[in-house]
Amino acid sequence: MYGLPPDAQPAPSAPEARYLLAWTNDQVVGCCAVQPVGPEICELKRMFVSPVVRGQGVADMLLAEAEQLALRLGSRSMLLETGVRQPAAMRLYERAGYRRIANYPPHDQDPLSVCYEKALPARSSRVAPVE
């Protein structure tokens, strides 16, 4: 999509990143990572859904599970970066409540990057009633 050279590689995720996989019929059809990047802040990384299952809700489920994982890691907000040539991804994030923000490092110098943030709901401390 972006005309990168064939040997271009994304920066590796940090060792504390956690990975999610979406499966169907014993095949991986989607993935993403949740990486802590600061106090109470996680970043969604490497979101991908196979073209054969796009439009079937896999991305929505992965994103929701990534947010739950971020909450379990103690995060209160989720950041992410995508690109201007990925309008479907941008619609997904906006539909899920993410708002555009100024590009953060290292994406702040990339005119093709688009960054988003979402405040995550506070974790409930409710205890289920005992019967």
Q: What is residue 14's predicted lDDT score, i.e. its pLDDT?
A: 78
Q: Across all residues in the chain, what is the average pLDDT?
A: 88
User: Mean of the pLDDT values across residues 41-62?
Assistant: 94
Residue 11 in this model has a pLDDT that exceeds 70: no
- Predicted confidence at residue 131, as pLDDT, reads 54
Distance CA 32, CA 46 (A): 5
pLDDT of residue 80: 97
Q: At what angle do helices 58-72 and 87-95 cross, to 10 degrees?
A: 60
Which strand ranges, in their side-by-side order, compose the sheet holding 41-49? Answer: 18-24, 27-38, 41-49, 77-83, 113-119, 99-101
Which residue ranges form the domains of the chain, and what is each CATH number? 18-119 (3.40.630.30)
Predicted local confidence at residue 122, as pLDDT:
76
Mean per-residue pLDDT, 20-45: 94
Mean per-residue pLDDT, 87-100: 96
